[in-house]
A and B are shown apart, each in its own frame.
Chain A
Amino acid sequence: ADPIVIKFSHVVAPDTPKGKAADKFKALAEEKTKGAVKVEVYPNSTLYKDKEEMEALQMGAVQMLAPSLAKFGPLGVKEFEVFDLPYIFRGYDDLHKVTQGEVGASLLAKLEPKGVKGLAYWDNGFKVMSAGKPLKAPEDYKGLKMRIQSSKVLEAQMRALGANPQVMPFSETYQALQTGVVDGTENPPSNLFTQKMHEVQKNATVTNHGYLGYAVIANKDFWEKLPEDVRKGLDEAMKESTDFANQIAKEENDKALEAVKASGKTEIYTPTEDETKAMQKALAPVHTEMAERIGKDVIDSVYSATGFDPSK
């Protein structure tokens, strides 16, 4: 019989961590289902663009995606915006307690009424802040035009720092930074480096204040109609490629940070504990401000999964 075709569309280059992980999934899935499934990976938005892939998935025009977690707010599952909250994870350990634990699973389950089956979380990494000047204290952000992706939480975060958030597509950011349309931005090191933004930013601070990640999702009807054994094979493939994705994302970010340092074009600053405390304090109100929007229960469940104490 003809193999079942899975169109897996994403919006980044094939040699990025997500791109590589998607290719890995393709290889593993085809192997584990013994060819019962054929995965066609479409990188670089060749099939669907950022703005239309979600609707395309809901309509069944594409079977799998790995959108950024920020895409789920507009889908109506605002709970996912919890991942955007500044300083909610102290590191990968905290994060994986959520994404690989019950809280993560319950969040993915909330996608089902939207016709979306959540399969896994893939890391990109923790973000650094960059600009044309040193960023140490919260006051340093006052009046800066900071590029963000569309997100009410990130908007609130930049406002809490006194900055002027500018929503701008990722593709336009390099030029906007270069010419000075915006002053700074926030990115995981790998994005900073691969987009060459370090060439046009004098300073970056390893704040690790926020997390950027993806969820791998499938069309719910399609997924549930798959034969049991095929789905089992795909689940296994997904699990292995998730480990692969997270591992290379981490490596890639570490490498990128070193490469940025080595380039000498951006001065990398690691904040002291006191400076981080000051930033956390300045950004703590964002958690309360967004509680109504995201859902207090969701934020609390993340707190308790990671042992985070908002009063500290």
Chain B
Amino acid sequence: MTALIIFTLLMLLMLTGMPVSIALGLTVMTFLFTMTNVPVESVALKLFTGIEKFEIMAIPFFILAGNFLTHGGVAKRMVNFATSMVGHWFGGLGLAGVVACALFAAVSGSSPATVVAIGSILLPAMVRAGFPKEFGAGVIASSGGLGILIPPSIVMVMYAVATNSSIGALFIAGVVPGLLLTVFLGGITWYRARKGNFPRQPKASWTQRLKAFNDSVWGLLLIIVVMGGIYTGIFTPTEAAAMSAVYAFVIAVFVYKDLSLKDIPRVLLNSASMSAMLLYIITNAVLFSFLLTNENIPQSLASWMTEQGMGIIVFLIAVNILLLMAGNFMEPSSIMLIFAPILFPMAIALGIHPVHFGIIMVVNMEIGMITPPVGLNLYVASGITKMGLSALTVAVLPWLFTMLAFLMLITYVPEISLWLPRVMGML
């Protein structure tokens, strides 16, 4: 009953179009004022302490690093490198787009950033090379999703924060599924290109490939700074994020020189406001999950579910449907922060591994980003291609179905996610 009131209220507030963060906060306030005797001062306290956690601080750092990379010529060089490697196969620049997205995903923590970085360079080039617009948009909007599955990933940080899981283990768990999805997306791109007889690039010589690699090596090295840094123990994940921001700044300004010092305040301001928005949602989501815990909602849902005798298979289907539906209307961080605290105790009660469950949620978020009406990657792709949302929705369909198949695989084969972290002794 309580749960019903809380969620109805939240839904009503959200439908007015007010920021999700405000809707969360108002729901909590309304409830605390009218139905509990929790002193409301503790709400103000939680508004500070809610994000007072060093792990969360990885988010602003990754955003800052991502902005330096996007504006700093790193993406351009990665696209060149990917094109020189796979551009001569069926799918040509499209296939290069998938690979470039995967490469960029390995240095950036966000999906839309990946779409922007790779798409803004590659999409115009694809159109010029004679690809149908729809094809390019489909490739880039869907491959951009790799941004949150291949580590580092801001959405994974949020899951870790919401469920007290290990960021390091989640990052490592994302590697194999990330590579697998790259193969899946590459496969469907290749297949469709072959069927449509889309243009291919001339095969690059090894000298050209080496040169392209050399040009992009400074960007690629960031993979080693972040992932290597975390796994050799030089940095904690948050420190790795900070170091990657410093590193990205140095290569953008001093090595590639695509960014000048006078651009820095603008990059800082954009990163700060984007980070602040996410941190503000997190704060209010923490408040919301405090309300749920205080009312014992996740626990009673979990025990209700066990009483019903719901098994893992049914539960996971329900979770996927729920998250895909939510993915239509909300953006990933809000979904993660609202649903993870509720679903997590149920998943644990059923014996699902916390890290596996995290990967399932992340893949759902990826799909949500290319489904209308709210799909960040679609918005970005539409910004680049000037295509309408409905045209884009149709354009991404082949990749969307591929991702749904991939989701099923990830959901029911936990070892894809758990194998690598287990081998590395992180579980």
Contacts and interface: CB of A to CB of B under 8 A. Distances in A.
Nearest to A179: B233
A61 B293 contact: no
Contacts of A175: 166, 168, 236, 426
Tell which of B39, B42, B54, B294 has the most Cβ of chain A within 10 Å.
B42
Main secondary structure of the interface of A (DSSP, over half): loop
Interface string A60-74: 110000000000000
B46 interface: yes
A47 B232 contact: no
Interface of A: 46-49, 51-52, 55-56, 59-61, 169, 171-172, 175-176, 178-181
B258 interface: no
Given A52-B46, A61-B38, A178-B426, 11 more contacts: A52-B52, A55-B42, A56-B42, A60-B39, A175-B168, A175-B426, A176-B233, A179-B230, A179-B232, A180-B234, A181-B239
Interface string B3-42: 0000000000000000000000000000000000011011
30 contacts: A46-B293, A47-B293, A48-B42, A51-B49, A52-B42, A52-B49, A55-B42, A55-B45, A56-B42, A59-B39, A59-B41, A59-B45, A60-B39, A61-B38, A61-B42, A61-B45, A172-B55, A172-B236, A175-B166, A175-B168, A175-B236, A175-B426, A176-B236, A178-B425, A179-B168, A179-B232, A179-B233, A180-B233, A181-B233, A181-B236
B39 A61 contact: yes
Given A60-B39, A61-B41, A178 B52 contact: no
A52 to B, nearest CB: 4
Interface in B147-191: 164, 166, 168
Tell which of B45, B53, B55, B235 has the most Cβ of chain A within 10 Å.
B45
A133 B112 CA distance: 46
A176 B233 CA distance: 7
B218 interface: no
Contacts of A181: 233-236, 239
Interface string B270-313: 00000000000000000000100110000000000000000000
Nearest to B55: A172
Nearest to A61: B42
A46 B293 CA distance: 7
A172 B425 CA distance: 16
A60 B38 CA distance: 9
A172 B57 CA distance: 14
A53 to B, nearest CB: 10
A51 B54 CA distance: 12
B315 interface: no
A179 B52 CA distance: 24
A46 B45 CA distance: 15
Contacts of B239: 181
Contacts of B231: 179
Given A61-B38, A61-B42, A51 B168 contact: no
A171 B168 CA distance: 13
Nearest to B38: A61
Contact of A49 (B49, B236, B425): B49
Nearest to A177: B233
Interface in B206-259: 230-236, 239
Contacts of B293: 46-47
Contacts of B41: 59, 61
A48 B239 CA distance: 26
